[in-house]
């Protein structure tokens, strides 16, 4: 087995702090599924995450200016244009498709750790 | 030896102690092994072991199955079907003579989400409806609306053109919010063979096509978000894919819509 930063990182050690936005065209399924997957896998990799959902129920768990400025990275998991992108102008952004997250959320997050 | 099963739904009190005692006693009359399988919790326990039954952690309205296997399983099935019918909500009528008049295949009102839901099930027929994604979506549209099937089909196709709605685990969940169908509707189409849905998540064998009205209520969105999140669980998808009873399939889906 190959060890990397992600696998040897214990849960108590936060290696990275990210904020994420999930969105999909209809906003009743994938938005919430992707948010679930990211929130589930991130702690296992020592990643602290806050996920904003932009679905049919509107924007929920909205990211604050403070959240964004404290984050090492902004992850956008979406197949459509995300609202209020201007918030992330000065942040490092990584964009992925919803399918990538559903296919293997762990790999997507591991990819962020570098 | 054939495994026999009885599908049912628990009531408000889940598994009351008194019913547990009676179940244990009845199972003691037979040589067959009887297992209670709670499909909603995905846990099972020997029906003759009280602790095992308790550790299943059944909750109100859970969908369960009694699985019976052994030399006298037919007789056990008859007796236990009557027991289930008395204490819980039986989800399938196996033989007419067991319990008198067969119940209409209706689900109890407790399985209704807090909004009206049109549920459609497509029985497999030997025709060309299942050739590809386009014909399957057309079938789903016709099931959901008699008035505007082509309009609804356009909406489904528009959504699919952005990204395929495969959830993984062999299930596709095409879903749209549209102005053509005033009530929430879910069309269930099991496929005789796996069909390519244009996604890296693999081919699909079960289609759950969903239509929500414009400006859906919060309850509707929450209910369907629960369903879509449930499709991330391989064991849940396996239950849906292997379910041969339309009534049980409907019960499993509705149970997911009403709560976690």
Q: For the domain that residue A10 is a member of, what is the CATH number?
A: 3.40.50.2300
**Tokens describing residue B126:** 């030997």
Task: Give residue B103's pLDDT band: very low, low, confident or very high (50, 70, 90).
Answer: very low
Average pLDDT over residues B121-133: 71
* Catalytic pick among A16, A20, A24, A105: A24
**Tokens describing residue A49:** 């995450």
Q: Chain-wide mean pLDDT for chain B?
A: 87
With an 8 Å Cβ cutoff, the interface of chain A facing chain B consists of 24-33, 36-37, 55-57, 79-80, 97-99, 102-103
Beta strands B204-213 and B175-178 are parallel
**Which residue did the predictor score with more confidence, B239 or B101?**
B239
Establish if B216 touches chain A: CB-CB under 8 angstroms.
Answer: yes
Q: Which fold has domain B110-258?
A: Mannitol-specific EII; Chain A (3.40.930)
Q: For residues A77 and A87, what is the distance between their CA atoms, to the nearest angstrom?
A: 16
Establish if B163 touches chain A: CB-CB under 8 angstroms.
Answer: yes
Establish if B255 touches chain A: CB-CB under 8 angstroms.
Answer: no
State how far the alpha carbon of A98 is from the alpha carbons of A107, B20, B79, B234, B252, in Å. 13, 45, 50, 18, 26
**Which residue did the predictor score with more confidence, A35 or B101?**
A35
- Homologous superfamily of B4-104 in CATH? HPr-like (3.30.1340.10)
DSSP state of B19: H
A9 a catalytic residue:
no
Q: What percent of chain A has pLDDT over 90?
A: 75
Cα B42 off chain centre by: 13
Task: Give residue B101's pLDDT band: very low, low, confident or very high (50, 70, 90).
Answer: very low
Whether residue B130 is predicted with pLDDT greater than 70 in this model: the reply is no
Whether residue B113 is predicted with pLDDT greater than 90 in this model: the reply is no
Q: What is the pLDDT of residue B56?
A: 92
Beta strands A93-96 and A73-78 are parallel
Q: What is the pLDDT of residue B100?
A: 43
ipTM: 0.77
* Domain assignments of chain B as residue spans, ordered by start: 4-104, 110-258
Q: What is the pLDDT of residue B98?
A: 42
Residues 6+ apart with CB under 8 A from B188: B119, B120, B121, B122, B206, B207, B208, B209, B246, B249, B250, B253
Look-up: residue for tokens 């296992």? A44
Under a CB-based contact definition with an 8 Å cutoff, are residues A77 and A21 in contact? yes
pLDDT tens-digit series, residues B70-86:
999 999 999 999 999 99
Cβ count near B42 (within 10 Å) = 13
Q: Are B173 and A29 in contact (CB < 8 Å)?
A: yes
Of B162, B200, B227, the CB nearest to A79: B162
Look-up: residue for tokens 């326990």? B45
Of A29, A79, A80, the CB nearest to B225: A29
3-state secondary structure of A99: helix
Of B162, B177, B232, the CB nearest to A56: B177
Cα B210 off chain centre by: 15
> Is the dihedral angle over the CA atoms B185, B190, B196, B200 positive or is it negative?
positive
**Tokens describing residue B186:** 């879910």
CA distance A19 to chain B (A): 21
CA distance A56 to chain B (A): 7
Whether residue A59 is predicted with pLDDT greater than 90 in this model: the reply is yes
Total domains present in chain A: 1
**Tokens describing residue B108:** 């109890």
Closest-CA residue of chain A to B229:
A33
Q: Chain-wide mean pLDDT for chain A?
A: 88
Q: What is the pLDDT of residue A99?
A: 87
Whether residue A15 is predicted with pLDDT greater than 60 in this model: the reply is yes
Q: What is the pLDDT of residue B93?
A: 53
What is the residue range of A70's domain?
5-113
Under a CB-based contact definition with an 8 Å cutoff, are residues B143 and B152 in contact? no
Give the bridge partners for B192, in sequence order.
Answer: none
> Is the dihedral angle over the CA atoms B13, B14, B15, B17 positive or is it negative?
negative
Closest-CA residue of chain A to B222:
A28
Task: Give residue A32's pLDDT band: very low, low, confident or very high (50, 70, 90).
Answer: very high
Range list of β-strands (E), A15-102? 16-23, 47-55, 58-60, 73-78, 93-96
């Amino acid at each position: 087995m190959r060890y990397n930063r992600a696998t040897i990182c214990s849960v108590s050690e936060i290696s990275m702090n990210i904020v994420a936005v999930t969105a999909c065209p209809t906003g009743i399924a994938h938005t919430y599924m992707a948010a679930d997957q990211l929130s589930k896998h991130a702690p296992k990799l020592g990643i602290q995450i806050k996920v904003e959902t932009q679905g049919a129920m509107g924007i929920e768990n909205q990211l604050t200016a403070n959240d964004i400025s404290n984050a090492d990275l902004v992850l956008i998991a979406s197949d459509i244009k995300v609202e209020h992108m201007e918030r992330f102008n000065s942040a490092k952004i990584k964009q992925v498709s919803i399918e990538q997250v559903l296919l293997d959320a762990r790999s997507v997050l591991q990819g962020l750790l570098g | 030896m054939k495994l026999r099963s009885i599908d049912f739904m628990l009531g408000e009190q889940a598994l009351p102690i008194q019913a547990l005692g009676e179940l244990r006693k009845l199972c003691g009359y037979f040589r067959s092994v009887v297992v209670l399988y709670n499909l909603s919790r995905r846990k099972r326990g020997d029906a003759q072991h009280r602790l095992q039954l308790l550790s299943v952690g059944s909750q109100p309205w859970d969908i369960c199955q009694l699985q019976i296997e052994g030399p006298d399983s037919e007789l056990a099935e008859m007796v236990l079907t009557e027991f289930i019918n008395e204490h819980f909500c039986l989800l399938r009528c196996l033989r007419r003579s067991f319990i008198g008049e067969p119940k209409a295949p209706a689900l109890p009102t407790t399985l209704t989400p807090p909004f009206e839901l049109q549920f459609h099930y497509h029985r497999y027929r030997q025709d060309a409806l299942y050739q590809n994604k386009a014909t399957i979506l057309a079938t789903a549209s016709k099931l959901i609306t008699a008035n505007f099937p082509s309009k609804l089909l356009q909406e489904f196709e528009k959504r699919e053109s952005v990204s395929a709605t495969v959830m993984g685990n062999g299930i596709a969940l095409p879903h749209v919010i549209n102005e053509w169908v005033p009530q929430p509707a879910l069309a269930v189409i099991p496929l005789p063979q796996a069909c390519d849905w244009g996604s890296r998540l693999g081919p699909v064998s079960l289609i759950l096509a969903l239509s929500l009205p414009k400006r859906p209520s919060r309850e509707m969105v929450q209910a369907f978000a629960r369903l879509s999140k449930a499709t991330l669980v391989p064991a849940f998808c396996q239950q849906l894919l292997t379910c041969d009873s339309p009534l049980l399939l409907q019960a499993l889906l509705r149970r997911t819509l009403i709560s976690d």
